[in-house]
Amino acid sequence: MPGKHWGSRQGADRDRDGEHCARIAFRISRRKESWWANDLSYCDLRTLYGRESRLRARDYGKRANFLAGCCGYRPWIKNSGETMRVLTVVHSLGIGGIEVTLLRSLPYLRRLGVEIGVACAGEPGALSDSFVAEGATIHRLPRGANRMLSALPIREIVERFEYHLVHSMLGYNAGSHVIGAQLAGRPCLVSFHGPRKTLQTLGISRRSLKAAALRPWLAINSHIILKRARLVIGHSEANLDQFYPDWRRRPDLFRVLTNGIEFPRIEGTKTDNRTFLGLPADVPVFLHVGNFSPPKNHSELLQIFREIRKHEPRSILVLVGDGPRRVVIEAEASRMGLDDFVVFAGQRRDTERFFAAADVFLFPSFSEGYGNVLIEAQAAALPVVASDIPAHREAVASPQHQFLYRLGDIKSAAELALRQLAMARSRSNPWVEQSKKIVSIRNSIETMAGRLADIYRGVLFGDQHAFRPSDA
């Protein structure tokens, strides 16, 4: 083992002994000898080499684990009946689409033999207590300007808590997690939940230093993911199209796993929910749910609503969510004279009440990974009008594709919203119930958790347990 004897011939010979021992053990693992499959015995590793060595047997095991992990073999887990321990990496535990979906899938994953640990940076978020209540272990990653340094904490967490694989949900920022998993000899999966980051979606000036650093940063991470990740999961085809346009030619590396949601339970009538939320009972209510960030396109949303009010002057627009651009949008609504007709509801956990109280759901995003909130709106039997982008064509059920509008076409969007409102009033909108049935089957959280567990099992135990892309 290098260190005390580093640089000496004796030390180099011993290091080669350990490397050779690890490689022999790795070759045996490929033949799937029973002792290897059942237990990783460091003593057996040393005996296998045929002579005593002053290298520590533990070092042999680490080397063998590393070699096996890089090539897809799994000496650290005994059999397919064992609980799979997965370290999931997320940005934070705030109320976001990724975090909420993961939280809701935990009970189903646990029933399927998957134990989840969560690694995240920053202070405890709003969902931290909920994750702990569901039995998840939370690990804190250090925050810093150089995110590649998080590879070392990932390695330490994996080795200390004996996780079997790492699943990073940070997409384009997952390079360091792939490296950390590989250093620990574990496979790493990378999920893409959102669109490719651009200067427009990040709200960064083209002339700033951040803009100069963004392109090489994305290129480095993409290279690491393509070369070192065991699987790349897109939660929509649009995600993978943006990351790697030729992904369909690499079925060994890429999978599509449609997002799942826990369908909102609607209680009470529309009038009851409006009373509870303090909304007028006799006016058209248009709803938007989403954080105040550039991709959500709130400016265009206000323009659409202003056009709607030319025909329905008593209408109100309810905006649920919070974020860095909320102050900007509030000022813009004031300049447009919409102060009395736009309700800023803030961050809420009872969004199902808003779905029950609204007449039409508006979603004009110019960039989305999938659009979970569109699934929730359809599951609540709420008519939708959304921008015609690839992710929305996957999220919106086909019966309501007729209500997708071209970005920037304010008049067309307003006309579609008014048509949805009129059809809802006359109850002549069968596409709403059709969409509800489609998403209730396609996008259930239980279905998604089952497919995710299949993916984990396929990575850890081989092709006989592998996820079938046709199931997506």
pLDDT band at 15 (very low <50, low <70, confident <90, very high): very low
> In this model, does residue 24 exceed pLDDT 70?
no
Mean pLDDT confidence for 353-373: 92
**Does residue 276 carry a pLDDT above 60?**
yes
**pLDDT score at 472:** 41
- Is pLDDT at 211 greater than 80 in this prediction? no
pLDDT in the model for residue 198: 53
Closest Cα partner for 258 from 458, 61, 444, 436? Answer: 444
Segment 77-96 mean pLDDT: 78
Please state, in angstroms and rounded to a whole number, the distance separating the CA atoms of residues 451 and 449.
Answer: 5
Do 281 and 274 meet the contact criterion of CB atoms below 8 Å apart? yes
Higher pLDDT, 471 or 209: 209
Residue 227: predicted pLDDT: 92
pLDDT > 80? residue 136: yes
* Band of residue 469 on the pLDDT scale cut at 50, 70, 90: very low
Q: What is the pLDDT of residue 212?
A: 63
Look at residue 421 in the predicted model and tell me its pLDDT.
96
Average pLDDT over residues 395-414: 96
Least confident among 165-169, 234-238, 419-423: 234-238
pTM, full prediction:
0.72
Name which of 234, 82, 95, 243 is nearest 169 in CA terms: 234
Cα 250 to Cα 235, 242, 259, 468, distances in angstroms: 16, 15, 21, 14
- How confident is the model over 296-302, as a mean pLDDT? 96
Q: pLDDT tier at 263 (50, 70, 90 boundaries)?
A: confident
- 267 or 454: which carries more pLDDT confidence? 454
On the question of pLDDT at 400 being above 60, the answer is yes
Indicate if the pLDDT at residue 155 is higher than 80: yes
Instruction: Report pLDDT for 39.
Output: 38
Q: Cα–Cα distance between 450 and 111 in angstroms, integer?
A: 10
Give backbone dihedrals phi and psi of 320, rounded to 5 degrees, phi first. Answer: -100, 125
Which residue did the predictor score with more confidence, 319 or 12? 319
320 compared with 12, residue with greater pLDDT: 320
Determine the residue type at 217: W
So what's the pLDDT on residue 312? 96
Mean pLDDT of 374-398: 94
d(CA 274, CA 258): 32
Determine the pLDDT at residue 100: 83
Q: Give 110: exposed, middle or buried? Use CB within 10 Å, 0-12, 13-18, 19+.
A: middle
Supply the pLDDT for residue 303: 97
Q: What is the pLDDT of residue 341?
A: 96
> If we measure between CA atoms, which residue out of 193, 198, 173 comes closest to residue 256?
193
Most confident of 6-20, 53-67, 114-128: 114-128
- Residue 207 has what pLDDT? 59
Q: Does pLDDT of 61 surpass 80?
A: no
Q: Say if residue 250's pLDDT is above 70.
A: yes
Confidence of residue 270 (pLDDT cuts 50, 70, 90): very high
pLDDT band at 264 (very low <50, low <70, confident <90, very high): confident
* Rounded CA separation 3/11 (Å): 8
Question: Is pLDDT above 90 for 284?
Answer: yes
In this prediction, residue 101 carries a pLDDT of 86
CA-to-CA distance for 385 and 407, rounded, in angstroms?
A: 12
DSSP notation for 247-295? GGG-TTTEEE----B------S-HHHHHHHHT--SSS-EEEEES-SSGG
Amino acid 38: pLDDT: 35
At 65 the pLDDT is 52
